[in-house]
Structure 1
Amino acid sequence: MYKPTIQDVARRAGVGVGTVSRVLNNHVAVRTATREAVLSAISELNYIPNPHARRIAGGRSYTISVLLPVITTEFYVRLLDGLEQAFQEARYDVAIFPLLDRSRLERYLGSHTLAYQADGLVMTTYNLTQLFQQRQQVDQPMVLVDAHGDDVDCAYMDNVMGGHIAGEYAAALGGNLYAVWVETELDQLFTTRVFTERRSGFLQAIHDRRLTVAGEYTSSFDSLNARTVAMQMLDDLQFPATIFASADLLAGALLDEAQARGLTVGDELKIIGFDDQPWAARRGLTTLNQPIEAMGYEAAQLLLSRLAGETGPARARRFEPRLVIRSSTGNRSFQD
């Protein structure tokens, strides 16, 4: 069975082979009408590029390295979905590097690892740009997602705003106020501003209402530890109580423990989460929705534009969270 070639695509589109190659590589120096003609020819001929030949011809690996804290939580699975969708559309492969401990990070910082052989680098949640640049000259473009910095492209959630919204709503619900935060340090090497910013916004909103927080707790991003902390919190609570869980994973553990104790969530105990994971609606969890997949997709587009020749100062794409009220807070709005 005959397989169409890049020359066939060029003839069908009425352009040169080099133009087809630039379209396949998402190069910015292609007119819209020309790009559409080439893409139409590719579709009509059912042309499938040879990835090996593409790598040789372009002098690229057509691989993107993604560094992220863990790969087992719903948040990072969804974030990867958004990243991979954009990279797959541009015919880039993704190599995932989970940052689990000091030895693994040190290996990634080495000069011959795959992280450096990729065409671009995505850093999620943790801003490691200075750490990488201190260890070795990094030539490939970088982008941050779920984090932000002044000197690098980034797509991030306004977590101060999210924490503030949660604090205002928690204050309006009344009762004793509690919060549980995610541990932000990974092997004492670096920190994330995500939960620090959520806490800052939350406490500012409480302070503005001239209220106080009765108790603050900390949990790792681990379901077993989250359940242990949930048990401790429910042992300590003075009812009526409202809890802000700074991630839905922690809120889910609180819902499980409350159910095990026969507590009715939404009455004397109210719980607010953050993320709006797919299961949150089913369980009636009031939470802050953040468009996780869209954030990942936008970060990938920023990186792809650099690979296509985009120059200029660092760009930031800011996303805003949205409060979704459900039964875990009694479906009560701000006006109640």
Structure 2
Amino acid sequence: MRTPTIQDVARQAGVGVGTVSRVLNNHAAVKSATREAVLKAIADLDYTPNPHARRIAGGKSYTISVLLPVLTTEFYTRLLDGLETAFQEARYDVAIFPLLDRSRLERYLASHTLAYQADGLVMATYNLTEVFHERRLRTQQPTVLVDAFAENVDCSFMDNVTGGRLAGEYAAALPGALYAIWVETELDQLFTTRVFEDRRSGFLGALAAAGRGVEAEYTSSFDTLAARNTAATLLDRVQAAPGGLPCTVFASADLLAGALLDEVRVRGLTAGRDVRIIGFDDQPWAAARGLTTLHQPVEGMGYEAAGLLLSRLSGYPGPPRARRFEPRLIIRDTA
């Protein structure tokens, strides 16, 4: 059978080829009824656009560049899922550029590399406030920040201060000494990010408001072995202290909380009774392990960031917009 063409879709929907093209490009200037008719014709005919022809006809790449620190964490996998879902719905491809180190970020900021040949740009996690104020981001494409906030650019971000405050308010109501483990990741050393600083600010502020404080704070790199060593160091101190148990530990990322759970089990202690553990992220495995944690709608944050960028690509000329997402405390067995 002959492969259906855009002309076949236009004929069946009773519209012009230009209208079909606008629907395919997710253009805002199409009436709902017309859009539905075109989408029905596309489905009935099982029509698949030719991406090469689409690029030539539109003078666009139909590609979005995503710059992010690394690819190897559950958080960024989930974030990319949200971004790619929205972009695929709009028939855009995604090109991923992991930066890995500060020098590569500087190179991207200073030149028109391959990343800038896309129609739009997503930058994840970096606190680029100074970059935008100094106009160092040399790109003419629409740009959106995700998992970061800046006043003069579209952004979709998590309110980490509120997340830390929720953890602190809950921990303050529990008996026993309080401890905390913070993330000192390679990202913090190489880039500027406020994620864990904001979580700490919210947590300690809530404890202070309740008249509580932490017995000790520990720092771990974002690595499973380092996290396990930090968990062991913390529990050595707790078990050596008179009346050290029970205690409560706020681990500012689920990776740290998981390592602490493992160390608690190895020592014959019981999570939720001897050591109460509160994490942050609600990673896919958290429910199975009964981890009390702060749930982050990571995929939703990515999806919303993509929507902000797509609206710019469709011609939205308005002022910068900020989409704020708020973590939610999920209480399970560990606390």
* TM-score of the two chains, using structure 1 as the length reference: 0.93
CA distance in 2, matches of 1:123, 1:11: 41
- Indicate conservation of the 8 Å contact 1:101/1:187, yes or no: no
- Indicate conservation of the 8 Å contact 1:184/1:191, yes or no: no
Correspondence list, 1:1-336, <5 A: 1-109=1-109, 111-128=111-128, 130-131=130-131, 134-135=135-136, 137-183=138-184, 186=187, 188-237=189-238, 238-329=244-335
Secondary structure of the 1:199 match is helix
Q: CA deviation at 1:104?
A: 2.7
Secondary structure of the 1:79 match is helix
Number of aligned residue pairs: give it: 329
Q: CA deviation at 1:129?
A: 6.5
CA distance in 2, matches of 1:270, 1:25: 51
Q: CA deviation at 1:106?
A: 3.6
CA distance in 1, matches of 2:128, 2:97: 13
Q: CA deviation at 1:137?
A: 2.7
- Indicate conservation of the 8 Å contact 2:112/2:138, yes or no: no
RMSD: 1.7
Fraction of identical pairs, as percent: 74
Q: Which amino acid aligns with 1:273?
A: G
CA distance in 1, matches of 2:122, 2:138: 16
- Indicate conservation of the 8 Å contact 2:186/2:221, yes or no: no
CA distance in 2, matches of 1:76, 1:142: 18
CA distance in 2, matches of 1:7, 1:128: 45
Secondary structure of the 1:56 match is helix
Q: Which amino acid aligns with 2:34?
A: T
- Indicate conservation of the 8 Å contact 2:111/2:138, yes or no: no
- Indicate conservation of the 8 Å contact 1:109/1:135, yes or no: yes
More deviation, 249-258/225-234? 225-234
Please list every run of 5 or more consecutive structure 2 residues that lacks an aligned counterpart in the other structure. Answer: 239-243
CA distance in 2, matches of 1:130, 1:101: 18
- Indicate conservation of the 8 Å contact 2:282/2:293, yes or no: yes
Partner of 1:333: none
- Indicate conservation of the 8 Å contact 1:272/1:285, yes or no: yes
- Indicate conservation of the 8 Å contact 2:109/2:138, yes or no: no
CA distance in 1, matches of 2:220, 2:112: 35
Secondary structure of the 1:323 match is strand
